Structure 1
Amino acid sequence: MRHKNSLELYQYWTSKCAGRPAPSRTDIEPGDIRTLLPHIFICELVDEDQLTFRLAGTGLCSLYGRELKSCRFGEMWLDSGMRNANRTGVAVASGATPAVLSLDALSHSGRVLHAEMLLLPVLGPTGAHDRLIGLTSVFEPPYWIGHDPLAGFSTTGIRFLEQTKQSLFLGNRPEINLPRPGGDVPRAPAMPAKRKIGHLTVLDGGRTD
């Protein structure tokens, strides 16, 4: 985790687990995390393979310029990433394994911002693993948030967290890097060294025999 908001919510969530794989939704007191509420969302597993928003904070909704309640979780991503994003969310909600996602976000006018998303499982009213609480934190929030809605997220890395093996910086599992849309930009080849001899320019390299 790189954002302080992610660490704060994770520590609070851990304190509510009380030895269980995940706390109950009723264990989460909004007043305890009031400063994080604008960036927090809760999703419900409505089918075996589909998550929908039960609620979403004003900070997250302002990124998209619309209310996200009742929308599908995967709709926050660009088309190419919807399926994998939904699968990750379903895995967290149903498998009780927290995850941290590194994100790039593209606005409708082509602007880009960088963010981090924390996904934490919580138990529903029946005690089933069917919900998650999440937090989206933007690094260096730009001035245009709220004026230029996002077209969607692109996941650039995923890290699943093992609660029983947490190190000081929660780095027990390496982040899985994912390719950005369009692939990596190729680097230009290195130019050979050159030197002047009289009126000639000599490039190092070539045959050595």
Structure 2
Amino acid sequence: MKKVLVIIPAYNEEEAIYSTVSKLKSSSEFDYVVINDGSTDGTKAILDQFNLNYLDLPINLGIGGAMQTGYKFALRNNYDFAIQLDADGQHDPTEISHLISEIQGSAYDMIIGSRFVEESSYKGSKTRRIGIYYFYYLLRILTGIKVTDPTSGYRIVNRKIINEFAKRYPVDYPEVEVIVDLTKKKYKIKEVKVEMKNRQGGVSSITPIKSIYYMFKVSFFSLIRRVF
């Protein structure tokens, strides 16, 4: 049986973290670790209260730093696969077995859970959809591959990618940039359909102004990764 680690990055997720971990534990027996990314609310208190598995970062490193911490943990503890599961409840833990079945025994190095590769119930805001379409076409230009849901964080990677991500992982907004980087290195990526929900608690840290910054920064660094 392959060893699987579910990595849950969490920053100020007191409203959703317990529910997210409870649903994960009730739907699978895979190991998990919450990366408490310098939360300033009651997230750490909840993790302690319910004796949940977590690593505590003393300062907020952002999603990239939190995930790289998880990948380093996975590498040191010899996990074969690592899965990102967002703490806000958007990702359905029952889909994990689907992601594992798609990557086990296959030639793929990363499987992305997509809301758009097939029709799903997810709608999302107009602004978010515009951003997703923008990055879809950016990836087509830079890599030649089709990724319908390039901003999806619901992903599983094999040990080769765990090793890559433990060494280097973008600090923030990493989803698109890592696709460019992995494609350049000839790793194989595939999308499969998953169902996702709206955020189950808390507030997204991505404001309209940050969205513009996000698109500019990701575009710039993706281009750099592709060229150099």
Q: TM-score range by the shorter chain?
A: under 0.3
Question: TM-score normalized by structure 2?
Answer: 0.26
**Which protein shows a greater Rg?**
1
Higher RCO, Cα 8 Å, sep 6+: 2
Higher helix fraction (1 or 2): 2
Question: TM-score normalized by structure 1?
Answer: 0.28
Higher strand fraction (1 or 2): 1
